[in-house]
Copies of this chain bind each other. A is one copy, B any other.
Amino acid sequence: MKAFNDLADFTTEELEALLELAGRLDTHPEPEALKGKVLSLLFLSPSLRTLASFQAAMTRLGGGSFVISPDMSIHGLETRPGIVMDGSAAEHIREAVPVIASYGDAIGIRAFAERKNLESDLAETEFSALTSLIDTPYINMESAMGHPCQNLADWKTLDDLGIPANGGKFVLSWAYHPKALPLAVPASTLYTAARRGMDVTVLRPEGFELPEPLMQKARGAAESAGGSVTETNQRTKAMEGAHVIYAKSWSSTKHYGDRLGDQALRNELVDWCVDEPWFDNAREDCRFMHCLPVRRGVVVAERVLDGPRSVVIQEARNRMLAQMAVLHQMLGSGS
């Protein structure tokens, strides 16, 4: 495995093998599998779960990792191409990224969307620019539109919970948040649920439609896998018979990169906070999923987050297991 960037790059058999391996490594540790192997971790955007779970994953497999993040006392990283570096930044990513990669057997990279231009972000311009600098196997730790480690962890969580693939009803719901957030999680979660063969409903207010290319990609995956993709702004309709609601805030695609326009739309939507009444016509055991971090009382009511529906801690722990499977495949002796 040269890259773990997008679940769409893998066959269903490959994904099933990763999920099976993730479960096996939980019950049957392999503390020598990656003995002496190094994972470079480059964070150009903040992190908690990813930072912690990748370090833990490498230790559990007998290897190790190191972290470079821009809040460290390094010299400032320039990202603009062709620039004369006479300002404050003393190092360019064109050197930093290959160097950091050269110390590892693989590299994980996180770089959130710039959110200036939707086409550019959909094309993963920035993340591709980073990975084009290296030959090392790499892992997408969240890019403009992708978060495959979260996706694999969520897939495992759905499996763990026994939620059916075909026939399972998955609601991906927008939620209120005071700031415009990236599309990476909704975009890649939509694809993942569709790829699993579920009946997916995107529930979002007007102005927060997901970009058409993302919807198309998901519809294609659903067709092949025996599922479906629909969208609506009607909560009651969306939640009917749902097995799971996956809440996430994201920025307005209508006002993409326009903070004030997004804010004006968003300010009217504070009632998009997932609460118990949302579940009135869902399945009684309907679950609540979220990738975290989550704002209590804003994205979701405390009683939901602290109640039996919530599986957010389980999802987060599955991050580590999913990543162990990816690392094992990428760096293990059989790789």
Binding site for B on A (CB under 8 A): 29-32, 35-38, 40, 43, 46-49, 51-53, 55-56, 58-66, 68-75, 78, 82-86, 90-92, 94-96, 98-100, 102-104, 178, 292-298, 302, 305-306, 312-313, 316-317, 320
Closest B residue to A57 by CB, please name it. B103
B38 near A313 with CB under 8 A, answer no
> When chains A and B are docked, how far (Å) is the Cα of A95 from the Cα of B52?
14
Additional pairs, 5, CB under 8 Å, beyond known A84-B297, A94-B296:
A52-B99, A58-B64, A83-B296, A85-B295, A85-B298
Minimum distance in angstroms from A31 CB to a CB of chain B: 3
> When chains A and B are docked, how far (Å) is the Cα of A84 from the Cα of B75?
33
> When chains A and B are docked, how far (Å) is the Cα of A69 from the Cα of B82?
32
B59 near A100 with CB under 8 A, answer no
> When chains A and B are docked, how far (Å) is the Cα of A71 from the Cα of B183?
26
Number of copies: 3
| Contact of A313 with B46 at beta-carbon distance under 8 Å, contacts A35-B62, A56-B66, A66-B56 already known | no
B296 near A84 with CB under 8 A, answer yes
B32 near A59 with CB under 8 A, answer no
Closest B residue to A95 by CB, please name it. B292
| Residues in B neighbouring A70, C-beta threshold 8 A | 73
A86 near B38 with CB under 8 A, answer no
B52 near A68 with CB under 8 A, answer yes
| Residues in B neighbouring A295, C-beta threshold 8 A | 85-86, 90
> When chains A and B are docked, how far (Å) is the Cα of A198 from the Cα of B305?
50
Closest B residue to A294 by CB, please name it. B95
| Contact of A59 with B64 at beta-carbon distance under 8 Å, contacts A35-B31, A48-B74, A295-B86 already known | yes
A36 near B52 with CB under 8 A, answer no
> When chains A and B are docked, how far (Å) is the Cα of A46 from the Cα of B76?
11
Minimum distance in angstroms from A316 CB to a CB of chain B: 4
A72 near B71 with CB under 8 A, answer yes
| Residues in B neighbouring A59, C-beta threshold 8 A | 36-38, 63-66
Residue in B94, B178, B302, B312 whose beta carbon sits within 8 Å of that of A82 in the complex: B302
